[in-house]
């Protein structure tokens, strides 16, 4: 979801209007609603200072509004949380043999892809295919 979609989703969960949110973050009464609408539709993107004000009013972590795009563990946690918005049927399950937690999307296309990816990664790990063959698969995959 985009930053604007996240603002709208959390704002609706909190039960406040665009205008109320805009006023609460310090935008004048006349501009408050239209400015929030611009953020929510993606016509404008809030700068960091404004994003932090919006997050404070919505009682949300700014990283739940503007999902980080990096690959640090902390960034990945927020990216994983977004999966639930796209795949509400997704389940987090504990593997009874290993104790590891796994994500089951309950989505045939995604689960089939993950299985195929696991197979090809396994072949690479066992030396059945080269790194080059794996990378060719990875970067040429057609979804």
**pLDDT tens readout for residues 83-128:** 888 899 999 999 999 999 989 999 999 989 999 999 999 999 999 9
pTM of the model as a whole = 0.71
Per the domain annotation, does 19 fall within a domain? yes
Shared domain check, 60 and 18: yes
Same domain, 60 and 95: no
Residue 91 phi/psi, 5-degree rounding, is -125, 145
pLDDT tens-place string over residues 62-77: 988 998 888 899 888 8
Query: In total, how many domains does the chain have?
Result: 2
**Could you give the CA distance from residue 130 to residue 57 in angstroms, rounded to a whole number?**
52
Domain presence at residue 21: yes
Domain that holds residue 58: 3-64
* 16-26 burial code (b ≥16 CB/10 A, e <16): bebbbbbbebe
In sequence order, what are the residues at sequence separation of 6 or more whose Cβ sits closer than 8 angstroms to the Cβ of residue 35?
A: 22, 27, 44
pLDDT-based confidence at residue 44 (cuts at 50, 70, 90): very high
Split at pLDDT 50, 70, 90, the class of 143 is low
8 lies in some domain:
yes
In a domain, 73, yes or no: no
Residues 7 and 48 occupy one common structural domain: yes
DSSP string, 49-65: HHHHHHHHHHT--GGGT
In a domain, 60, yes or no: yes
Strand, helix or coil for residue 138: helix
**54 lies in the same domain as 96:** no
Q: Is residue 86 part of a domain?
A: no
54 vs 140, higher pLDDT? 54
CATH number (domain holding residue 24): 1.10.260.40
Whether residue 113 is contained in a domain is answered as yes
- In the predicted model, what is the mean pLDDT of the chain? 92
Count the neighbouring beta carbons within 10 Å of the beta carbon of residue 100: 8
Is 82 a member of any domain?
Answer: no
Packing angle of the helix pair 131-140, 108-125 (nearest 10 deg):
160
Predicted local distance difference test score (pLDDT) of residue 116 = 93
């Amino acid at each position: 979801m985009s930053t604007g979609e996240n603002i709208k989703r959390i704002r609706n969960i909190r039960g406040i209007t665009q205008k109320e949110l805009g006023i609460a973050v310090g935008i004048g009464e006349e501009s408050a609603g239209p400015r929030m609408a611009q953020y929510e539709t993606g016509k404008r993107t809030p700068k960091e200072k404004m994003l932090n004000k919006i997050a404070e009013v919505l009682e949300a972590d700014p990283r739940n509004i503007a999902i980080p795009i990096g690959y640090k563990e902390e960034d990945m946690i927020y990216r994983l949380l977004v999966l639930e918005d796209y795949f509400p049927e997704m389940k987090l399950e504990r593997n009874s043999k290993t104790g590891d937690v796994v994500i089951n999307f309950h989505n045939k296309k995604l689960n089939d892809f993950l299985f195929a990816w696991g197979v090809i990664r396994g072949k690479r790990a066992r030396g059945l295919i080269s790194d080059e063959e794996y990378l060719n698969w990875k970067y040429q995959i057609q979804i």
